[in-house]
Every structure is written in C-alpha cells, then in structure tokens.
Structure 1
Amino acid sequence: MPLIQPDGKDMQRKSLQSIAPGLMNLLAYERSWLKPDIRAGLSVAAVALPVAIAYAELAGVSAIVGLYSCILPMIAYAIFGSSRQLIVGPDAATCAVIAAVVTPLAAGHTELHWQLTIVMTLMMGTWCLIASRFKLGAIADLLSRPILNGLLNGVALTIIVNQISKIFGFSSPSSELIERIYALPVNLLNSHWPTVLMSLLTLLILLGVHYTRPNWPAPLFAVVLTTALTWAANLPHFGIETVGGYTGGGLPMVSWPNFKPGLLRDLVIPALNLAVVSFVSMMLTTRSFAAKNGYEVDADSEFRALGLVNIVSGLSQGFAISGANSRTAVNDANGGKSQLVSVIAALAIALVVAFFSEPLQFIPIAVLGVVLIYASWSLLDMRSIFRLRKRNRPRSIWRCLLS
C-alpha cells in the first residue's frame, strides 16, 4: 500500500502554526468574537496608557517611550503568541531591572540612557530566541515559585521605597535602598506640601474608583483628572513637578540604536537574567489563563514570541516588555476571545500617541509615583512566606527571602 504523502498546504499550515500561532487563530476568527474583543481591547488600552507612562518614568525614559513599548510589540504578540488572553507590555519588575542596570552606565546622560535601554531590550530578545531554538522552555518549570515570589516582593518593595521621594516632593541623593530607608524620617520633614496634597488626591481617586467602580480603569481616571487640574490651575507655578517639556509625538519609527560597542559586555548577563525572569513570570500568567479558558500553550513557542516582541519593541524605540498580569486580567474579565484584543488595544494607544501626546507634559511626577505604588502593591505576596512557614519548609522560605 503506497504511503500517503502529506499535502503541501497542510505542511505550510503546520509550519505557520508553529511560527505564528496567533496569526493562525486570527485567520480562523469567528464573527461572534468581535464585540467582546472590541470591548476588551478598549478596556486594556485604558489600563495600559497610564501604567505604560508610569513604567517609563520607572525605567528612566520619557513617557512617549512607554507608549511606544505597547504599540508594535502588542501587534507582534498577536501574530506570534499562542495565548488568546495574554497581554504584553511594560512590567514593573522589568523596568526596575532596566533602571538598575542602565542608570550607572548612562551616568546622567538622558540620550545614552535611552539608547542603552534599547540595546538591552534587543539583547534580551536575542537571548529569548536562542533559548527557544534550543528548546529551553522547560526552564519555566525549574525556577521555583518561592524564588520568583521573593524576587517580585523585592522588586515591589524597591519600587515603593524609590517612589516615596516623588510623592512627598523631596530630593533623595542616595541611590541605595538601605540608605534611602535610613534617611526617610529626616527627608519626610522636607516634604513639599503641594506635592503631598496632589499625591493624596491621586490616591483618593484611585481608591474611590477601585471600590465604587471596580471594572473601571482607576489609573486612567487618576492621571487624566490630575493632569487636567495641573494644566487648568497652573500647578507647576506652585512647585509641583511634571513630566515637563514636550514629550514628542507621532508613531514609532523603526531605527537602530546608537551606542558605544564597548558597553555591550556590561549588558550581556543582565539581559540574560532579565530574559529568564520575564519568561518565567510570563509563563505563570499565560498558563493560568490558558487553563481557565480550556487550552494549552507551548513554552518554547512563548519563549520565541517573547524574544520577537522585545526585538520589535527595541527596533521601534521601546524598552523591554513581558506578560502584563493586570492587563491580562482586564482582558479576561471583559470576555476577550482572541489575539485581536491586543491589536485593538495597540491601535487605540497609537491614536493617543498620534494626536494627543502633547498633554503628557502636564502629568505630575507625584501622580506617576502613586500609580507605580498602586501597581506594585499587587506584586507583594507576603502571604506566600507565611504559607511556606505553616508547611514547615524553611528551605523554601530562605530561597524566597534571599531572592
């Protein structure tokens, strides 16, 4: 009996499925998904806009760069990603690591800081592609949950401490975490009270929306209302610091970073570490939402997708991104059915960048600090340490704390 040769179209379909699973899902799109996808996409954009701006501040780059990190990378994941719910974008842990690595190398030079951030993003993407090529997706199963919890708790605490000076309006010359904490009581005496009042107003808006309208994007309301107030009342005249200057506009352009090649060696290992941590964190989110919606994701495929979206982000003047827990949860809560949600959210953000980027200069720095603390609070998982303690697992507790 002659062997049945595989059809050429079937082989092409399987090849495309392995390389671009998101595109294959979009080609099989069902019309009934459109309405929930549009609703979810706009909701994701509403949450992503203020968070991306705040994370850009955390990474040490301009607000517009945070938005650039959302547009083309989200579209790229819609093509190459296998998760129908995952939303990629700026992440607290990723931005904190970027700032810690790049800031000393840039030595206060804003343009160099941005260029090195782009280089680190491209290197992270390259590491992810190499890992995918050698089928290293199983690394997501090797890094234990206690270690990841310890890392995220440490990142959250670092972000919170570093933002205190911004929400209270005092300057903190030290960059070391312990020194900042030690000097905190003295520095609080030098608080700038108009800035403190702005921070309190932002917090009240965030908590008010969170508890009265939990499905609404609280950070967006906080940023829009306080920015409008800052512009209308000319609050910079009273010493409230803003993003300042025209932050640029227009859609992202594909370009290659300009940097000194000698700095590459200082970024290789940090980019590798960032790739591993971002991938493991992303896979936890991806798998949990995939299980909830009744499908599976391939770890090696997701490693490749993470690499591609970061290369796209770097080439489009953005910074390193990962899976975004809060925005993925918003997508799922609004009934998003496919990767089209990412495309819709990206287009909505692109419209803001193209036509409404000038008002970004009036966003108060204190407001971004409060939004960052609000977002970072969800990273804290102290209960995990107590759960390990109840289970009498001292080794896991030490791993968590040392991370």
Structure 2
Amino acid sequence: MKPAASTRAHLHHSPFLQGLLPFNSSQLPRDIIAGLTLAALGIPEVMGYTKISGTPTVTGLYTILLPLVAFAVLGASRQLVVAADSATAAILAGTLTTVAALGSKEYIGLTSTVALTVAVMLVIARIFRLGFLADFLSRSALIGFLTGVGVQVAAGELAGLLGLAKQGHGPVMQLVSVAQRVAEANYPTTLLSLAVLAVIIGCKRLVPHAPGALIAVIGSIVASGVFKFAAHGIAVTGEVPGGLPSLFVPPLHMSEINQVLATAASCFIVIIAQSAATARAYATRNNERGDDNADIIGLAAANAVAAFTGTFVVNGSPTKTEIIDDAGGRTQVAHLTTAVIVLLVLLFLTRPLSLMPAAVLSAIVFLIGVKLIDVKGMAELFRMQKDEFVVALLAAGVVVFADVMHGILAAVVLSLIAHARHSYRLRTRVLTRGPTGHWIPHHVEPNLLAAPGIVIYRFEADLFYANTGRFTEEVLKLVNEASVPLRWVVIDATEISNIDYTAGKTLLQLGAELDQRGLGIAVVAVPAGVRHELERYRALRVSGAHREIFETVDAAIDALRDLSPPAWAAAPDADQPR
C-alpha cells in the first residue's frame, strides 16, 4: 500500500485533468522515464495488434497517440493506459469479416465506425451512470474469455511464424492447416521467428526490465536493411505512412448497421469490464480513489478520437498499465510522454518500420496470445472454486470453437447464471441454543427447536422469485415433519436486504397457510428497508394475528417462549395486500 500522501490527487475536483493534477514536480522524472519505457515496449505491441485487428500497421501507432492524450485530459484514473488491446482487436476481426474482407478499405472504415459507436455507447453509459455494469462480468468468466482469446490469437500466428499464408477459420482449423503444410515452411522466416522469440523470452527471463520486443524490432530492421530480407523471400511490413493521422469520417451503410451494433456492443462490454477492473486495481494499489463513471468519459473521448483519426477501438490495457506502474509512473504525464515519442516515430521513423519483417510482428503477437492464456488463473479456479472453473472453461471454449463475439456474450450470460445460481443455492439453517448459550446453526431438519414449540429458520440471501420456492418448501418441511407440537416459526432474516414482488406474495401465502394451522410467525432483525417492504406487502400485519419484528433472536425467544398464538381462521382475503 502506498503512503496516504498519494491521496493528494483527490484535492483536484475539476472534471478535467484529474489524471494530471495536482502537478508534483518531484514525480516528473519518474513519470517521464515510465513514459519512455511504455513507448519502448508498447510501440511493437500495438503494431502487433494490427495483425489481430486486420488493419494497417500504422493504425496501431495511432491508438497510442491522440486516444492516449484524450484519456489523459478527460479520464479520472492517474495510471490507466488506454490504447489498442488484443481482446477488442480480436472481436473486430472475428465479427466484421462477415460484411467486409479483412484488411480491405471497407473493413478499415468499419473498424472506425465501430469505435465511434462504442464512444456513443460509453457516453450513454455515463449519462445513466452505468459504471456498475463492470460488475456483471465475473472475474472467472473474464479469465476464461481472455484465455480463449489467447488461444485464438496464438493459433492465428503460427502460420506467420513459419512464413505460410494464414488459412482456416478458427483456431482449430488454423492449427490443422499449419500441421498439414509444415513441410512447406519458409526456413529463413522460421529461423528469424525463432531468433525473435529467443530474444524476447531471453530478455524477459534474464533482464526483466529490458525491452526485449523493441530490441528484436530494431535488430530485425537493421538486419533486414543490411541483408535485404525481402530479396531472400522473407516478407517485410512494407510502406508505413508517416506524419499525423488524417481526419476521417467513419462511413456507415444501413446494410451493415446490425453487424456494427453487435460488434460495438461486444467491445463495449469488454471495455467497461476490463478498464474498470484495471483502474480500480491500480487506484487501490496506490491508495487513491477511483471513479468509474468519470473514466467512462475518458474512454468515450479516446474512442471518438480513434474513430476520427482512422484507427480502431481502444481499451484500458492491463499489460501497459502494469508497465507504467512498474516503471514508477504515477500520473498521466507518463502517458503524454509516450504520445510525444509516438509522434516523433510517425514524423521521422516510419521509413525504417517498412523494413521490419512480418515474422517479427507474428512472433510478438504470438507471445501476446500465449500470455493471455491464463493457466495460473484457471488452475487457481479449479483448486479453489470448481463451479467457477467450469464457467471460465465454457467461456474459453465458446471463443475457441465459435467466435469472440459469442464468447463475450457467453461470458456475460455465464456470469449472470453463476450469480443467480449462487443466490438460488444459498445457505439456509435452523438455529438451536448450545450449552454455552450461543446459537448453533444446523442443516435444515425438523425437530431442531430453539425453545419448546419454537423453531428458528435462517435464510441467508435476498428473497426473490427464483428462491421463494425453496423458502416455502423448507419452512413447510419444518412444520409438516415435526414430531413435536410447534407454536411459533421464527424467520431469522438478518441476511435479507431485499424482497421482490414474487417473494412478497409468497410470504403472504405462507402466512395464510400457517394461520390455518394455528401457528404464529415472527421475524428477527430485519433491516429497515425490508421492514418497510414487509409492511407494504402486509406480510406481517394480517388482521387478528400476533406478528412482530424483533431485533434479535434472543428477544424473539424471550417474547414468545410462554406465548401461544391466538386461535384464528385466515380471512378469505388474508393473502391479498390491503
């Protein structure tokens, strides 16, 4: 945990420049070094993402120029890096190819249209304060989704590593295609790919802070120029346009609108979930207070700028944010430093980039894909929470065997199912008093009494339409299977904070049923909000019945121990609200 002094960042209340102000001159050198480090590691990475997204190499550089500046000015997070991302790049390539050929002018235009659509969705999300939507993609589903994306990305680059044309739809067919054509591999390209992989992996293991990808890129460019790689059958990147990006109005044709909206919605979900999770993690690490809704404005501005400068969707990047944090960057000054370096590259260094072998980008992207395959996370889920491991495995499987868009939809749906399943398969208990006077919880079984004639049933979740059946079934089980006379059923509702309409009606019906059997019903320690709901539904206020809400279980037992419920017959309309 960083010292509390870092909370000075929150003395600045302007909606702009929250990631930059207040300015700390002593932090400036570290922010600049962090920005240089991000440029060194991030430039090859975002160029690699263009192989995933199917767009020109220069569009990767565009994602860490003006979008980076837009988020620095309008976002709230002081560390979140917003740029090209493998997950959203894979969504573009996996969905837009149904309406335009990968890499075509129409396809590139559509990627910008999707970025603009995402920006509009983010603005709507901010207006309605929908930052909480990030919570609806569970960590386990996100692990599975990104693992599936990693498999898809890595499998898609195997052909490029061997100098083969990419064939086959989906990771499985691409692997089969490479296996069938491995004898046709271009040996110089294969050797170059192995050398690049060795440099990057070797730097990571032996000199962790060395920019292995940048060393590989510079080395391969120099070697390409000296030894004329293109003349020896090694494919190179080719011309990379220099200068600032041109202003661009994204096109949209009505025949493509459904696909654009579906693709943008998938990207929107990933951006909301991944950006918020990353920003929160680093705000907590540095003892700062995050603001999801303010970050949404920064993300919207970054995607709008991306759209109008002819590039594709940008997202909060966990890997690039970690680069900044590890290098000592603590404000968006680091990000602006990176943008300046990218500007210099675009103005003066695009010609050398044209000599870069295509296999270098394939190697970089292949390692990105491998890194996304979260073996450690999947193993931890299997060890600690097997049901959530199944969720992660299913999400990964949908990405691998179907496509990325259905994968993100599956991740969201599986997250909601897991939540509903947890709420449905909740813990319920019957309480009895132990020898020391403390209350002891037991599995729900009849004849476990808290006092003569009194049974206490604890329900440890909100009461809603999906679990009211279990609530009623277990209460009636305690009543029907009791071998000793019962007088009172006490509901310990300490853990209930909400009761929906279906549950309210169920309580009315259950109350009427117990009334007819001559049993009393009472509730313990209900929060104020639920007390209001119970009274609104009249679940505890049936005419003629003695029903109370007690603050504690002990208070309920003391009040009801020697009290018998009055004899009454349920009124004909007792189960109707009045």
Length-normalised TM-score, structure 2: 0.64
Name the residue aligned to 2:331.
338
Name the residue aligned to 2:211.
217
Contact 2:168 2:177 in 1 (8 A): no
Matches within 5 A, 1:355-394: 355-394=348-387
Name the residue aligned to 2:26.
32
Distance 1:254 1:17 in 2: 32
Post-superposition CA distance 1:363-385 (Å, at most 9, x none): 11111011012222221212222
Distance 1:84 1:238 in 2: 47
Higher mean displacement: 180-189 or 91-100: 180-189
Q: Are residues 1:187 and 2:181 paired?
A: yes
Post-superposition CA distance 1:227-260 (Å, at most 9, x none): 111121001111111112x221101232212453
Name the residue aligned to 2:60.
66
Secondary structure in 1 matching 2:64: helix
Counterpart pick for 1:242 among 220, 236, 241: 236
Distance change in 2, residues 1:305/1:188 (3 Å): same
Matches within 5 A, 1:66-105: 66-105=60-99
Name the residue aligned to 1:398.
390
What is the CA-CA distance between 1:122 and the residue it aligns to? Answer: 0.8
Q: Which has the higher strand share?
A: 2
Post-superposition CA distance 1:145-191 (Å, at most 9, x none): 11111110000000000000000112243223222223332121221
What is the CA-CA distance between 1:24 and the residue it aligns to? Answer: 4.2
Higher mean displacement: 175-184 or 214-223: 175-184
Q: Are residues 1:272 and 2:268 paired?
A: no
What is the CA-CA distance between 1:392 and the residue it aligns to? Answer: 4.7
Distance change in 2, residues 1:92/1:25 (3 Å): closer
Contact 1:75 1:342 in 2 (8 A): yes
AA at the equivalent of 1:345: T
Distance change in 2, residues 1:375/1:25 (3 Å): closer
Q: Which has the higher helix share?
A: 1
Aligned length: 385
Secondary structure in 2 matching 1:28: coil
Contact 2:152 2:369 in 1 (8 A): no
Name the residue aligned to 2:297.
304
What is the CA-CA distance between 1:267 and the residue it aligns to? Answer: 0.8
Counterpart pick for 2:46 among 41, 44, 52: 52
Distance change in 2, residues 1:108/1:382 (3 Å): closer
Distance 1:101 1:176 in 2: 12
Counterpart pick for 2:146 among 149, 152, 177: 152
Q: Are residues 1:256 and 2:249 paired?
A: yes
Q: Are residues 1:130 and 2:124 paired?
A: yes
Matches within 5 A, 1:157-176: 157-176=151-170
Distance 2:303 2:243 in 1: 21
Counterpart pick for 2:347 among 310, 331, 354: 354
Distance 2:201 2:364 in 1: 11
Distance change in 2, residues 1:392/1:48 (3 Å): closer
Contact 1:42 1:348 in 2 (8 A): yes
Contact 2:229 2:236 in 1 (8 A): no
What is the CA-CA distance between 1:393 and the residue it aligns to? Answer: 2.9
Distance 1:109 1:41 in 2: 31
AA at the equivalent of 1:398: V
Counterpart pick for 1:327 among 285, 295, 320: 320
Distance 1:30 1:111 in 2: 45
Name the residue aligned to 1:196.
190
Secondary structure in 2 matching 1:215: coil
Secondary structure in 2 matching 1:165: helix
Distance 2:353 2:190 in 1: 21
Distance 1:167 1:300 in 2: 42
Gapped runs of 5+ residues in structure 1? 1-13
Contact 1:195 1:366 in 2 (8 A): yes
Secondary structure in 2 matching 1:247: coil
Length-normalised TM-score, structure 1: 0.91
Gapped runs of 5+ residues in structure 2? 1-9, 396-578
Name the residue aligned to 1:318.
311
Contact 2:38 2:338 in 1 (8 A): yes
Contact 1:63 1:360 in 2 (8 A): no
Secondary structure in 1 matching 2:78: coil
Contact 2:150 2:368 in 1 (8 A): no
**Structural RMSD (CA):** 1.7
Counterpart pick for 2:15 among 19, 24, 31: 19
AA at the equivalent of 1:96: A
Name the residue aligned to 2:172.
178
Distance 1:140 1:207 in 2: 33
Contact 2:154 2:368 in 1 (8 A): no
Higher mean displacement: 269-278 or 182-191: 182-191
The higher-RCO structure (CA 8 Å, 6+ apart) is 1
Higher mean displacement: 246-255 or 226-235: 246-255
Secondary structure in 2 matching 1:170: coil
Distance 1:242 1:362 in 2: 6
